[in-house]
Structure 1
Amino acid sequence: MEIQRKNILVAPLNWGLGHATRCIPIIKKLQELGFTPIIASDGEALQLLKLEFPHLKFLKLPSYTITYPKKGKNFRWKMVQNIPNMILAMRKERELVKKWIAEFKLHGIISDNRLGVYSPKVPSAFITHQLNVLTGSTTFFSTKIHQKIINKFTECWVPDVADEQNLSGKLGHLNLTDLKIKYIGPLSRFRKTDTAIKYDLLVLLSGPEPQRTILEEKLILELKNYAGKVIFVKGKMEQKQEFSQVENILFYNFMQSGELEKTINESELVLCRSGYTTIMDLAKLGKKAFFIPTPGQFEQEYLAEKFQKEGLIPFCNQEDFSIEKLNEVQNHKGLSNFKGEVNWQQLFSLFERE
C-alpha cells in the first residue's frame, strides 16, 4: 500500500528574490523527507521557483504591490502608502488558504513573510529574521504589529543561530518574548566548492524597482574605471536567460541556482545589496564582499553597519559609491560559515501532528 505523502504549502513573499531563494533548500528537503511541497507566491518570486522546480504544483497569491521610492528619505512614507494594499492582500491570502486546505488536503504551511498565509486548522510556520522591524522612529510600533501577526502562527522559524555570534544581530534576537521561536540556523541554497577564481568581481543585484535599476545604471558607469574581469548578474527574472559581453564585463539578466553557485565560487569579490539572504549565502561560501544597502531600507542599513563594525565587510551609501571604494575590502575579513546544519527532521516534525 502506497504511503500518502503530506502536502505542505510553501509561500515566500515577493519582495526582491531573497525570500524565494532561501525557500529553495526548504523545498528540496521537504521532497527528500517524503513531503509534497505546493508553492504559492506571485511575480518574480513565483517565476524563479517555477524555473527551479518545474515539476511541482504552483498557486498564485495576491501581490503586496510593494514599491520603493527613488529617494531613500521617502522610504518610510512609501511603506505607509503600501499598507492598504498589504492589508487587502492579507485578507485575500486568508481566504485562499482556507480554500486550499480543503482543495489540496494541506497538512502544513510554511510562510516566508507572507503575513496572511496561516491557518488554525493546520500547523503553520512563519519564517523571518526580523523579530524587530526597524523603521526609524516608528520601530516600536512596527515591531509590535509584526510580533502580533507572528503569534498567529504555530511556530516562528528564524534562519540564524541563537548564539551571541550571529548574522542578524538585534533584528533576529529579543531579550524577552513569548513568541514560539526556533533558531533553525542560516539557510542557503549554495555549497562551497574549491574552484579556481575566474572573475575579479561579481556584481549581484536584486530587489524591488526603481532602486534595482538605479543601482545597475550607476554601477555600469563606475565599472568603466575597473580593469578586472567582471560578471554582472542584474537580478531581472525574465522568460529567457540572456547574456552579453561588453569589454571586460559579462552581463546576465538572471541565473538559476546551480549556475549562480558556480559563479559566486569562481569570483574573488562580490558587490551587492546587504539583504539578509545574500548575507547567509556569502557566509555559506566564505566570500569577501562590498555592500551597498538599499537607500532608506533600515534593515539593510543596519546589517551593513553591523558587519563593517565587526571588521567583516565594508559598505557605503549608494550615492557615495565609487569603484575605488572596493579597495577597502582588503582591510576586512569577509564572512565565514557557521558550524552546524539545520535539523530538518526535527523541524518538519511540526507537520507530523495529527
Structure 2
Amino acid sequence: MKPKRILIAPMDWGLGHATRCIPVINELLHQGAEVVIAADHRPAALLRREFPQLEHVRYPGAVIDYPANANMAWTMFRQLPVFFKGIADEHALLDTLITDHRIDGVISDNRWGAYSSRVPSVLIIHQIRILLSRYIRWAQGIVDAANRKLIRPFPEVWIPDLPGADNLSGELSHGPRLPKNAHFIGPLSRLVRRDGMPKSLDILAIISGPEPQRTLFETMLVEQLKPTTHKALIVRGTPERNVKMTLTDTLTLVGALTADELSEAIASTALIITRPGYSTVMDLCALGARAVVVPTPQQTEQEYLASRLMASGICYAEPQSGFRLERALERSAQYTGFRSTTFDAAVLRQRISHLLTAAA
C-alpha cells in the first residue's frame, strides 16, 4: 500500500509548537507515513535541523507583534484583523499545498486555518481555554466562545495532556465544555532522560518565545550572568542563527540545540532558567529537572502555569521585571523540581493509526 502523506504545521510563536511536534513526527514515521513539514521562520529552521531528510515547505502565517511594554490585551485586540486575515490566507494556501504535495492528511499545531474538507484534519492544542488577565476577565465568556468557534472546523482535536486531576495544564485544558471530538493524547516531549551524567553546568538558560521579549530576556540574563562565576550556557532559541559565542570563561551562548544535545545539556546542569511555556513544562516533567521559571510578561498562559508550579512546590517563579539571579538561585533551593515522568504514548499511537486509516 502506498504510504500516506501527512502534512504537519506548527504555529510560529516561539519554538514550543514546533518542538512538541517532534514526537508526533517520529510516531508518524514509525507507522510508515511520509511526513511533509509546513512551517516558517524559526520553527522551520528548528525542524529542518531536526529532520533534514524530510520534505519541507514554507507555510507562512499571520505575523503578530508582541508588545515590549504596551498593554497586551489592547495590542492583541488591535491586531485581530491581521489575525483573522492570516487564518483565511493559511486556509487558502493549504488547499494549494494539498494539491501540489499530494497530501492525505493534516496535523495542525495551533494553526487555525490548517484544516481542509478534502483530507482528515487534526488540531493539536492545549489552550482549550485562553485565560484572561483579571482586568478584562469580564470578557472570558466571549473569548471562550470565539475559541470554540476556531476549534470547530477540525474533525479531531488532540490535547497534549492527561485526563483527570493528575495533569500538567490545569484550567487551560480541563475547563468546562471540552470539544466532543477531543482526545487527551498525553504530554509530548522530544527529550530523553540521561541518568548518571556529571553536573558540568551550574545554570542552563533556555530562551524562546516571540520578539521582542525573547531578546529582552536574553539581554537580562547575560547582564546578570557575566559578572558571576556560575558556569552557564544560554540556549538562545534562534535556530536560524545557530552560532556559538563564548562571552566569558564561564558564559557561553548557542543559537539552538537538537533534541539529543538539549537532553544531554539538561542532564549536565544543576538548574534551568526558562520560560514556563507549556511545551517547556512537558519537557521539564519528562526529565525530572529543577528550574526557575520566568513568565513572558503579560502572557497569561505562562503566568498561570508559573503560579501553578510554584503553588505546587515544584518550581520557583519570578516575574521578568525585577528579576534578580542570585535571589532566584537562593529561593529555588526550597522547591523540589519536577518528578521524572515517563509519558505513555499509547493514545498518540492510536490516534495516529486512526488518522492514517481515515486518510486511506
Does 1:347 pair with 2:348?
A: no
What does residue range 80-159 of structure 1 map to in structure 2 within 5 Å? Answer: 80-136=77-133, 137=136, 138-159=139-160
Question: Which residue type is aligned with residue 93 of structure 1?
Answer: E
CA distance in 2, matches of 1:345, 1:82: 38
* Structure 1 SS opposite 2:104: strand
Name 1:255's counterpart in structure 2: 257
Task: Provide the alpha-carbon RMSD of the alignment.
Answer: 1.5
Using the aligned pairs only, state the percent identity. Answer: 35
Q: Once the two structures are superposed, what CA deviation does each residue of 1:96-135 show, in whole Å capped at 9, x if it has no partner?
A: 2222223323221100000000012221110111000113
What does residue range 250-289 of structure 1 map to in structure 2 within 5 Å? Answer: 250-289=252-291
CA distance in 2, matches of 1:246, 1:234: 16
TM-score with structure 2 length normalisation?
0.93
CA distance in 1, matches of 2:122, 2:238: 29
CA distance in 1, matches of 2:237, 2:179: 38
CA distance in 2, matches of 1:17, 1:226: 29
* Structure 1 SS opposite 2:36: strand
What does residue range 220-231 of structure 1 map to in structure 2 within 5 Å? Answer: 220-231=222-233
Runs of 4 or more, structure 1, over 4 Å off, are none
Structure 1's unaligned 5+ residue stretches are none
Name 1:335's counterpart in structure 2: 338
Question: Which residue type is aligned with residue 15 of structure 1?
Answer: W
Q: Is the 8 A contact 1:204 1:270 kept in 2?
A: yes
- CA-CA distance at 1:17 after TM superposition: 0.5
CA distance in 2, matches of 1:63, 1:106: 19
CA distance in 2, matches of 1:178, 1:47: 32
- CA-CA distance at 1:339 after TM superposition: 4.5
CA distance in 1, matches of 2:227, 2:336: 25
TM-score with structure 1 length normalisation?
0.95
Worse overlay, 53-62 or 336-345:
336-345
CA distance in 1, matches of 2:148, 2:182: 11
Does 1:212 pair with 2:209?
A: no
Name 2:7's counterpart in structure 1: 9
CA distance in 2, matches of 1:105, 1:217: 44
Name 1:302's counterpart in structure 2: 304
CA distance in 1, matches of 2:178, 2:189: 27
CA distance in 1, matches of 2:40, 2:179: 32
CA distance in 1, matches of 2:77, 2:144: 14
- CA-CA distance at 1:144 after TM superposition: 1.5
Q: Is the 8 A contact 2:130 2:144 kept in 1?
A: yes
What does residue range 12-27 of structure 1 map to in structure 2 within 5 Å? Answer: 12-27=10-25
CA distance in 1, matches of 2:242, 2:167: 38
CA distance in 2, matches of 1:224, 1:59: 40
Residues 162, 182 of structure 1: alpha-carbon distance in 2 compared, 3 angstrom cutoff: same
* Structure 1 SS opposite 2:9: strand
Question: Which residue type is aligned with residue 307 of structure 1?
Answer: L
* Structure 1 SS opposite 2:71: helix
Worse overlay, 29-38 or 131-140:
131-140
